[in-house]
Amino acid sequence: MTEENKIRVDLSEDRDLLLWREDFYLPIFEHALTEIGDLHGVRILEIGCGTGGTAVLLAKRGASVLGIDLLSFRLDDARKRTAEHGVAESVQFALMDAMQLAFDDNTFDLVISKSALIFTDHIRAARECYRVLKPEGQAIFIENMHNHPPLWLYRKLFVTYASNTHYFSMVDIEKIGENFDFMQHREFHLLAIGALIWQKLCPVSTLYQFTLKHLKSLDDCLLKWFPPLRRFCWITAMICDKR
């Protein structure tokens, strides 16, 4: 899709479906789905669907979604969420490992993950995603990165499962791209995460929103003029093509 043909996706009405840190994930999903385009009639596989928020968001935009996860209780919650939002007929769920997908080759138009591949062997999961994509299909991997300094320290001190989690480095991103025919990626949130401090120290919404807005703008400038800083961002969005 050329830049002239892109229509910006606005997800603000469904921001609550992102379920966690919506202020930070909203611009990432809007960027990724703007790159993808119209979802009507698109068959999507969601890796690590959790409690179904992303699946509902995609189904409300005309997609047919099959979400997989390794935790059955999450799938129960996901089914309830799809029914609450009136999209149960467009969404299915299955208990399945992303590294061993029980689908035929060339099955899906789009594969998407949000903070899911960090719990997998990246290469095995990427190869499986490539296999089940149809020719001209795409994969969107929205994943947490390894080198954001405060987050690195926080995970080291407080996240008990961090040692079993494979967060993404720039080398990991490049390796994902090697398993597809083309990849573009964009990194988000270098300084913007600092706005979360106000939620802990001084939980005033206007102060938080003001800080977040200006730190995001500063991030945009820094990442544009100093690309090496991308390796220190919080989240990466990889858009991969099968041709």
Residue whose tokens read 């919506």 = 22
Pairing type for strands 108-114 and 133-144 reads: parallel
Domains of the chain: 3-37+97-190+229-241 (3.40.50.150)
pLDDT at position 157 over 90:
no
Bigger pLDDT: 4 vs 241 = 241
How much is the average pLDDT of 217-240?
Answer: 98
Low-confidence winner among 7-16, 72-81, 123-132, 219-228 (lowest mean pLDDT): 7-16
At 61-70, the pLDDT tens digits run 999 999 999 9
Low-confidence winner among 44-58, 194-208, 216-230 (lowest mean pLDDT): 194-208
3-state secondary structure of 159: coil
Cα distance between residue 8 and residue 21, in whole Å:
21
pLDDT at position 108 over 90:
yes
User: Cα separations (Å) of 52 from 20, 92, 102, 148?
Assistant: 12, 10, 20, 28
At 175-190, the pLDDT tens digits run 999 999 999 999 999 9
pTM of the model: 0.94
Residue 5 confidence (pLDDT): 62
How much is the average pLDDT of 127-149?
Answer: 97
Nearest to 98 by CA among 65, 138, 127, 125: 125
For residue 65, give both structure tokens.
């979604």
Reported as a pLDDT band with limits 50, 70 and 90, residue 227 is very high
For residue 233, give both structure tokens.
């961002």
